[in-house]
Structure 1
Amino acid sequence: MTEKLFAVSTADALLIDPSNDTLVIKAKALLNSSMEQSMQSTDINAGRGSQLQFVYNSQKVLAFQIEAADFSPVYLALQTGSDIKNKMSKYFTEELVVFDASGKGTLSQAPIGNVYVESPANHVTKAPVGKEITDIAYANQELNVVYQYNVQVDELEIGANDFPKAYKLVLTSDIFNADGDKAYEQQIEVPRYKLDGALSVNLAHDSVAQFTMNGKALSDNDKYATVKWLPVNGTSVKVSSLATDVSEVTLAVGEKQKVITLGLRGGGYSNILMDNAKLTFSSDDELIAKFANGEITGVGTGETNVKVSDGKYTDVIEVVVS
């Protein structure tokens, strides 16, 4: 990954309940998805002039900002630490009721308790009989009536002592090259992600309510998160040179030795094991030694060089056959 790359997309987010390995939510309409690492530093100064001798780092924190544009009741459930239950519940409704010449109006649902009639002058509390409201003052009018009735709903109770729990968080985003082509998928996996419990439902006339799933990574076996890059669209892992696990080999006639070829990627990257099927093996003198599929074979006495190449880089091994 040495070419110029650009992370220009927001991520898709998965939250998985580790207790039963179930997918809780898949968020694909995020406005923002960011990761920020912070830590405390303590300077140790000593000597003449109180020179800085050492910096002690501690309290590393890996925090995430995740903001969704779409709505899901699950967002509220996650941040409140409560479950959504389907149950019969009292529900407020408002409907326009037509009153006849006798002042009688009929509601569409059976109300629970009193109803509230919005008359031209004020709101009046009435005690209905069944679904009917009767008052001669309402004769031949259409009035709004507010009341409660029983109905099956999904219900979330925000408890005073309920708090969010930890989930596995997976964020997947795109990485593009300088030509604008998608080159990699980036995936950040947090084994234990603790939501911060912050909840804000902003219902405004000129905007869409946004919901956050902000939180912090909890330590899991001394690890906060793992970041992975998957090459896509023909992108290959680039190396800066090849190196074999041996530079000199001494063999008897007929003796064989396996050779491991590594691709060196430069600073910040560990070496990768090269696939022999994608390499070319050759010998300067096959009467002395042959080199094929990562294996050197002694053929006849003498000294020669064998080579391995990926088409761009080559490594050479000195071979002595006695």
Structure 2
Amino acid sequence: MESEGLKHVFMEILELIRVEDVSSDGRSRFEHLLRALQQVLAGLSDAKRGVFLDDALAMVLRKTQEHNELDDLVLTYVHGLIDALALSKNSQGAAIHDSVLRQQKSLVGCLLSVLGRNPTKFTQTEGDCVQIARAVDAIDRCGVPFKHILVTARWKQFVHAWMAIVRPDTADSTNNSSEEDDEADDERDEDELALDLREQSTSMLWSALPDRFGVKYLNNPSWSDAGIGVVAHWFVTSDARADVSVTLDVVSPYAEAFLHHADMPLKLEGLRIVEKLLEKEMPPQQISPLSFEDSDTIVGVDSYAQCTFLSDFLVWIFKVCRSVGKALLSLAAPGRNDSHGHIS
């Protein structure tokens, strides 16, 4: 009953936040509502908190989307949540409970969204380094290692390549055609059956998927690529976290996105990422040909997927080099901005 009462209070507070004015006049009340929401979330059990935490963070991001001056408020709120939920303590064990992992991923996603919605602001040398440092510190306290966050783009590419080999048909299997009313129920039954079969096959394939980067436990997190790019930029261009190793093959997707961005300052920061890593002489990690012989999971598939992944990696390096060339041309001619490759 106590849990049901907290859920009811949560929904009431969330509705108040939805209609609250976040301008300077209403900021004090907005902060008060956030503190109340934090207390309610802390009162819920780990098993039941996940979905409510998702809703709370989504609402906070939505309310502050057009107010860059509130970024610091969001960071303070997330720091408070991390303290109240004690997720960093729960993440010390060898195995992390799914409910705790979900909360960790949600908090990381919120912080990356804050950084990703204005990457130019957070990557400028003359910008507010305090905010990016606070965001990085908060992400660190969530319990997900930075090396796993940074490799997200490469992991998603590997998953796509592997899945494309074992299940080439990636088209939607649902029937979108319009039929007569008396056939609608049968069509829905067929669609539901097809969806169930697809979900089961996907689950089976996922269990057989090689854990190429040690991040399979994260599944495919829907984190902001731009936000991860900001974090990667921070590690590459600052000496604050020498313990985090960053290589060009890992951050190349984010550097390329910056190089293609419409904002000229962000293009320059993409160039800085590539320049800094080349200066440090950190060559991309090559996949040993001997590893292609290991096929314990599915005979032939892992080896072929790794070969394909290596080929795609070389393509990515070529794309980065090409992007650098285009960025240099656009910098030489400021009127020619590349509007393609906008990152989310």
Same topology, TM > 0.5:
no
- Pair member with larger Rg: 1
Work out which structure has the larger RCO, using CA pairs closer than 8 Å and 6 or more positions apart in sequence: 2
User: Which band: TM-score by shorter chain?
Assistant: under 0.3
TM-score, normalization by structure 1: 0.21
TM-score, normalization by structure 2: 0.20
Higher helix share: 2
